[in-house]
Copies of this chain bind each other. A is one copy, B any other.
């Protein structure tokens, strides 16, 4: 193991480990904006259980439920479908939870900063081709994924899972992936096979995929039916009514300043501000604005990377900062003219999901 891979699972030393077991980690923000594609050794990890050991020869993907032709596919049979690649950013629904925790404490959830997001080129089979082979019945409305990773909640031990609407599953962008950035999918990212659902919260891109079940209703797995819901602001763990939570899938536009870092000291004068912006659901990031006067006036950032329909956009802005303390604020706009809310207090929820408030970095110049 070399110096740059001193973290578990081959991760770079610049990866911040938020939890050892299960392993949860993401890259230092300033490493994220170095390249449009996040190298595998930097790509964030959000796991709910230990990484399962899978024997590729014994592996079978089951496709069942509301289908006319249930399937049990070996890895070779999966690779026999036409292969495609999609560049897509995955983001954990809990990314930027730390900013919400500063508004009011959030218990039993990972204190993600801005690092639970990364962009890769995924190689695999379009899910719709496998679904077509299984021939869904007309009643089917949702596609449920179950992984091989076990976790425990409220005294029950079960495998991680979730679901997406069948209409979404039929999009050409949704893959069963066995490659990540041209390499075999690493174990910590779901080898031998994972779902990749671009434009949806990361939790729907189920890793170590073992079963695909066509259903009338969304998955009844804990992580679809109870967790990963957006609850009203007054709700708390002790008062939760799960039915009042919005099941998260598609997510709202967000942006983050990665450089300079929070608390950084800089010489007064010109400074280049850099970050990423991401829209959900296939919408496009149209513009990123940066302010140093609390949102009274804005500088329009320029895009600093190539563009892919399901990928983030890296951006840069050149500011001239006099000596003193400054707060750098950024916000993005998507192609439906959605922008970000001003304050995490306005979108706070007790699970700390989808915080997309204006992002703020405080620096001292001179």
Binding site for B on A (CB under 8 A): 230, 232-234, 244, 246, 248-253, 280-281, 283, 286-287, 289, 295, 297-298, 300, 333, 335-343, 346-347, 353-354, 356
Give how many copies assemble into the complex. 2
Which B residues touch A253, using CB under 8 A?
A: 338
Task: Return 21 A-B CB contacts under 8 Å, by A number.
Answer: A230-B333, A232-B287, A232-B300, A233-B289, A233-B297, A244-B300, A246-B286, A246-B287, A249-B335, A249-B336, A250-B283, A251-B337, A252-B339, A253-B338, A280-B336, A281-B283, A337-B353, A337-B356, A339-B341, A340-B341, A341-B341
Which applies to chain A's interface (DSSP): helix, strand, loop or mixed? loop
CB-contact partner of A233 in B298, B340, B341, B343, under 8 A: B298
Which B residues touch A336, using CB under 8 A?
A: 249-252, 280-281
Interchain CB contact under 8 A, B338 and A232:
no
Q: How far is the CA of A340 from the CA of B340 in the complex (A)?
A: 9
Distance between A164 CB and nearest chain B CB, rounded to angstroms: 13
Which B residues touch A286, using CB under 8 A?
A: 230, 246
Distance between A290 CB and nearest chain B CB, rounded to angstroms: 12
Which B residues touch A248, using CB under 8 A?
A: 337
Which B residues touch A283, using CB under 8 A?
A: 250, 281
Distance between A99 CB and nearest chain B CB, rounded to angstroms: 16
Given known pairs A286-B246, A354-B337, the reply for A232 and B298 (CB within 8 Å) is: yes
Distance between A295 CB and nearest chain B CB, rounded to angstroms: 6
CB-contact partner of A338 in B234, B287, B338, under 8 A: B338
Distance between A96 CB and nearest chain B CB, rounded to angstroms: 13
Distance between A360 CB and nearest chain B CB, rounded to angstroms: 15
Interchain CB contact under 8 A, A232 and B289:
yes
